[in-house]
């Protein structure tokens, strides 16, 4: 019996949504490994009921590199008393993620980070990601830029941000002066998108740094590439499966 199966047998009977918990914990660990985290800040969440109002999220002030499946909080976006409990979430996690899970049911998974290159992009006067290669073209016509940063993402700011995600085509929000927020249908889908957005932002920022004219793709080719990437089979699921396999080979305790 492998490590993952043993941990599932030992703990899975005591906590609901175990597979989701383990997937989410693995994504925290790998985000830390890629240095895309913000220590004990930033948050990932995952809806676990049909309307998206009940969701898993990381506990308050826990470093991404230490988060385990059993650590994740299970919250109800429609229950404001969550902030009054001993294990209350970070208020900004509740404000941003709670607002999104309350108002945007197609956002099953929500990942928000201040990764370096996405945040550099968010700091530019024009934060639009131009399609200059395959990775940047993946997000062509599929991201929205928030140009009205209003401070920490407490309740009102969270509601405002949620309103920018009403179009299901927009899976990435470049949060001007802030960072990036990515949504998706599952942990695998969302983490894969987060990973490739940071890669795309790095390519774009490095291209700008050369000071040379950019070779921007045409609308037709950029849209074609974006659609082809959306239709590409199984990549996100296999990406996360491989990351979990690496963690399992290292005897990581993420799935505990």
pLDDT for 161-196, tens place per residue? 999 999 999 999 999 999 999 999 999 999 999 999
For the cut 90, the answer to whether the pLDDT of residue 251 exceeds it is: yes
- pLDDT score of 13 more than 80: no
Closest CA to 236 of 22, 23, 17, 8: 23
**186-195, pLDDT tens digit by residue?**
999 999 999 9
Bridge partners (DSSP) of residue 54 are: 76
DSSP state of 88: P
**pLDDT value at position 231?**
93
pTM equals 0.93
Report the candidate in 231, 82, 229, 104 with the shortest Cα–Cα distance to residue 158: 104
Residue 60's closest CA among 100, 18, 97, 30? 97
Does position 252 have pLDDT exceeding 50, yes or no? yes
C-alpha span between 229 and 248 (Å, rounded): 29
- Where is pLDDT greater, at 180 or 153? 180
Instruction: Indicate the pLDDT class of residue 7, thresholds 50, 70 and 90.
Output: very low
Q: What is the pLDDT of residues 115-150, one digit of tens each?
A: 999 999 999 999 999 999 999 999 999 999 999 999
pLDDT at 12: 43
- Each residue of 64-92: pLDDT tens digit? 999 999 999 999 999 989 999 888 999 99
pLDDT surpasses 80 at 3? no
- Domains in the chain (CATH in brackets) are 3-249 (3.40.225.10)
Burial of 59 (0-12, 13-18, 19+ CB in 10 A): middle
Check residue 64 and give left, alpha or beta (phi > 0: left; psi -120 to 50: alpha).
Answer: alpha
pLDDT at 159: 95
CA-to-CA distance for 211 and 32, rounded, in angstroms?
A: 31
For 194-248, how does the pLDDT look when each residue is reduced to its tens digit (9 = 90+)?
999 999 999 999 999 999 999 999 999 999 999 999 999 899 999 999 999 999 9
* Sheet bearing 172-175, strands edge to edge: 73-76, 54-57, 43-47, 109-113, 179-184, 172-175, 143-146
């Amino acid at each position: 019996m492998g490590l993952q199966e043993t941990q599932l047998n030992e703990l899975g009977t005591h906590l609901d949504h175990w597979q989701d918990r383990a997937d989410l914990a693995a994504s925290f660990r790998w985000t830390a490994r890629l240095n895309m985290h913000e220590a004990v800040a930033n948050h990932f969440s995952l809806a676990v009921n049909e309307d998206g109002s009940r969701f898993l999220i990381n506990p308050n002030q826990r470093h991404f590199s230490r988060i385990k499946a059993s650590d994740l909080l299970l919250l109800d976006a429609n229950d404001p008393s969550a902030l009054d409990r001993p294990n209350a979430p970070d208020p900004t996690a509740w404000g941003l993620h709670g607002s999104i899970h309350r108002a945007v049911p197609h956002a099953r998974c929500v990942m928000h980070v201040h990764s370096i290159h996405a945040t550099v992009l968010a700091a530019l006067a024009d934060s639009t990601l131009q399609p200059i290669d395959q990775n940047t073209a993946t997000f062509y016509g599929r991201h929205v830029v928030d140009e009205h940063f209003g401070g920490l993402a407490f309740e009102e700011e969270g509601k405002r941000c949620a309103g920018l995600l009403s179009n299901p085509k927009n899976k990435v929000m470049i949060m001007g002066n802030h960072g990036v927020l990515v949504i998706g249908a599952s942990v695998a889908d969302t983490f894969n998108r987060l990973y490739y957005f940071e890669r795309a932002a790095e390519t774009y920022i490095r291209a700008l740094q050369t000071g040379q004219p950019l070779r921007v793709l045409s609308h037709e080719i950029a849209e074609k590439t974006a659609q082809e990437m959306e239709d590409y089979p199984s990549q996100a699921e296999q990406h996360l499966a491989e990351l979990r396999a690496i963690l399992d080979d290292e005897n990581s305790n993420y799935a505990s």
